[in-house]
Structure 1
């Protein structure tokens, strides 16, 4: 009997040991599954490739639900797991997605993908932004780039003035870039006036100069392509280079109270009369300095950009024109004015004759300096 009891105790110990081993193995397996699952889900919630600079074009068909969209994203390697994207979108209560063609990036987070698919445009949180103002010269843009990035102003200017780079850009932007005009002997900076003024987002800590430059060119190119037929129809500004040059004159003459369209009409009237444009900002650009008032002696500077000494447009733009100046160049007012001036408050006074103009000078300009 005692032997039977001992044998039973031994069997119970073995059973308990086996149970503990099985239980421990189960816990280890479940823990492993949990760690793997947590790791997998965490990974699936992150961008596929945070360093990617390329975009992938996808098509979201009309009427697509979140399940279909999630599958399209996974098939194009924009998300790791379609189910996780689907449940994440549902958890965030996101469902109003738009059909269409999208250029998305593997560097985008799930929130950025969702925002893009909701808004109908590419959305990413930039690391930083840089604002370039209307009317700035390429040298001022270079200084701003140097302030905000590790690039020097000298490096920026060397890039935008590089003839080989201009030739490369001509292949990318054939409507906008004409090396023959831009690399002409008297042009100071080939890309002067071509770098559209706006606030631009950047998605890497130190974007290459080509990215910085071509973001601005992309915007200018959009307008030039849009206005291409209208530009070609105006004899005096019938190329992109001439158009941007003309628009830059309007930009530099403009103040808060300036009517660009009326100033544009003055310039076109002067073309028709065979008169020089005689605009002070071109003199300042020729001098390479800013002045509150252009002196009569300044008007004699021997420089191709001086429109007092040279007929027609200067060799190239003198600043970056904004949209308002571009549109004024294409839609000038209908006037007979040949002269204008601005007083110290920026208000413009126009005249049809030189005699009227001299009266305005005496009344609104000379009295300011008495």
Structure 2
């Protein structure tokens, strides 16, 4: 190891040379710094944009209980702002999750509910949403068990529920209407439900004529025994509950003689008297 003596002169340190940038060097440094700032800003702006971007607020489409498929299609057209008939035309090609018995007809499976609608919603996607929802509800254990208990299929249960939905004056009457349907089916009697004729004629009325009852249609439940070939509307939860658990009773007939006053009976003569009262209330005579 080298030692310095007190008399030794201090070591000599070479003078430092200050680096001086030429004009070209200063320009290069300035441009490089500017590029760094530009790149940083380019990264920051998308991040800020992504954070401040607001998502579209969905609108809502309400499908009430009992609406027919044709009415649902019209509501979807209006909600999506597409030309009339667009949804009806899309239905057969939408690959909807339906039971085999439906044969591609979604009637009964356009589940009544409130659905979100955005600019990305299409008729096909909305119809799939509705039928998916129906499949989940109608595939529930209590529905399938109720159908087996009544010796009908789930699809037939949906058909019964659609008639209940159309015929019952109030929710309180639904169980009794369902019982009338089951009782008449069990006895091999035609249902004779005006709602099935209305469906065939694409109308909604309380006035059924003798001529109407002679209509050549599989939906004419005056002329044909058993259930119509498809549901006649899209039933809600209460109607489905009534269809699987009808109120116990012997009734074979009913008529709503006035709002809130539906008469149920198993006696034909009494039914005739009730119908006469209905006609008087409607101003139709005896």
Report deviation, 1:231. Answer: 2.1
Say if 2:97 is the partner of 1:138: no
- Alignment partner for residue 243 of structure 2, among 329, 343, 367? 329
Residues 150 and 206, structure 1, Cα contact 8 Å, conserved in 2: no
Separation in 2, partners of 1:201, 1:182: 26
Greater RCO between the two (CA within 8 Å, min separation 6)? 2
TM-score normalised by L of structure 1: 0.62
Say whether residues 1:192 and 2:80 are aligned partners: no
How is 1:44-83 mapped onto 2 (pairs within 5 angstroms)?
44-45=50-51
Task: Identify which range, 347-356 or 225-234, moves more after superposition.
Answer: 225-234
Structure 1 residues 357, 149: CA separation in 2 closer, same or farther (over 3 Å shift)?
Answer: same
RMSD across aligned C-alpha pairs, in angstroms?
3.1
Kept in 2: contact 1:126–1:201 (CA 8 A): no
Query: CA separation in 1, counterparts of 2:203 and 2:50?
Result: 56
Give the total of aligned pairs: 262
Deviation, structure 1 residue 283: 1.0
**Cα deviation per residue 1:113-168 (whole Å; 9 max; x = unaligned)?**
xxxxxxxxxxx864322222211111111111222224334332233245xx5xx4
Give the C-alpha shift of residue 215 in structure 1.
Answer: 0.6
Check whether the contact 2:257–2:281 (CA below 8 A) recurs between aligned residues.
no
2:242 counterpart SS class = helix
1:44 Cα deviation from its structure 2 partner: 4.9
Distance change >3 Å, CA 38–CA 273, structure 1 → 2: same
- Equivalent-residue separation in structure 1 for 2:51 and 2:275 (angstroms): 68
Provide the residue aligned with 1:127 in structure 2.
58
Q: How far 1:37 moved relative to its partner?
A: 6.1
Query: Helix, strand or coil: the match of 2:211?
Result: helix
Q: Partners of 1:223 and 1:260 in 2: how far apart?
A: 19
| Equivalent of residue 99 in structure 2, options 169, 172, 177 | 177
How big is the shift at 1:292?
A: 3.7
> Partners of 1:341 and 1:308 in 2: how far apart?
16
More helix by share: 1
Looking at structure 2, the residues matched to 358 and 131 of structure 1 have their Cα atoms a distance apart, in angstroms, of 39
Q: Could you tell me which residue of structure 2 aligns to residue 286 of structure 1?
A: 200
Alignment partners' CA distance in 1, 2:247 and 2:56:
42
Query: For 1:234, which of 145, 150, 153 is the aligned residue?
Result: 150
Q: Could you list the runs of 5+ residues in structure 1 that have no partner in the other structure? A: 1-13, 48-108, 110-123, 184-188
